[in-house]
Amino acid sequence: MAQTTTREANKENERTQKARLRTPTGFKEEEAKEIAKQLNGVLADCFTLYLKAKNFHWHLSGPHFRDYHLLFEEQAQEIFRMIDPLAERVRRVGSTTIRSIGDIVRLQKLDDNNADFVEAADMLEELIEDNQILLARLRDARSCCEEYEDVGSTSLLEEWIDQTEKRIWFLYETSRPHLSGGH
């Protein structure tokens, strides 16, 4: 009997704690959950891509070192600037966000790169592919947010879609073979 009472008290305490984190919004609970699921997935991939860009920035070697080193740092910082607004947006729609590296691992679609050495050309190619995966995820999240009339998230996602498309463009142009002739 005492064990049942303790379990019930624990469940009530858990409900109370969750309620304290539930930001009042105009979204239904299921809408907030679906928006949060999409945004948290993007967030997990942003953490992953940020760390990969920094990894490549730190471990780069070769004749294009300076240019690629600066490019990878610039891109890492751009991705890093997405992280806090994404997490705060999840909270503002009435849900909770990533709490640990374990959460990131469970939600990420991008693969980590733990290789001891990666050729510079392979770094560029991998970052192009990862940004394309992130771009698809951003577009899916935007569609979800638009469906639920989440204008705030939609607006942020549209800006990040544009930034991601630009990152892909810069990486692609950097990865192309050098051709003579100019334009």
128 inside domain: yes
Q: Using DSSP, state whether 119 is helix, strand or coil.
A: coil
17 inside domain: no
pTM of the model: 0.86
Closest CA to 147 of 25, 45, 27: 27
2 inside domain: no
3 inside domain: no
Instruction: Output the tens digit of pLDDT for each of the chain's 183 residues.
Output: 556 677 776 666 555 555 555 676 789 999 999 999 999 999 999 999 999 999 999 999 999 999 999 999 999 999 999 999 999 999 999 999 999 999 999 999 999 999 999 999 999 999 999 999 999 999 999 999 999 999 999 999 999 999 999 999 999 999 998 655 555
CATH number of the domain that residue 135 is part of: 1.20.1260.10
Q: Are 86 and 39 in contact (CB under 8 A)?
A: yes
- For the chain, the domain total comes to 1
43 inside domain: yes
116 inside domain: yes
Would you list the DSSP string of 59-96? S--STTHHHHHHHHHHHHHHHHHHHHHHHHHHHHTT--
182 inside domain: no
87 inside domain: yes
Residue 161's domain spans which residues? 29-175
State the Cα–Cα distance between residues 116 and 70, nearest whole angstrom.
21
Q: Integer distance in angstroms from the first to the last C-alpha of the chain?
A: 81
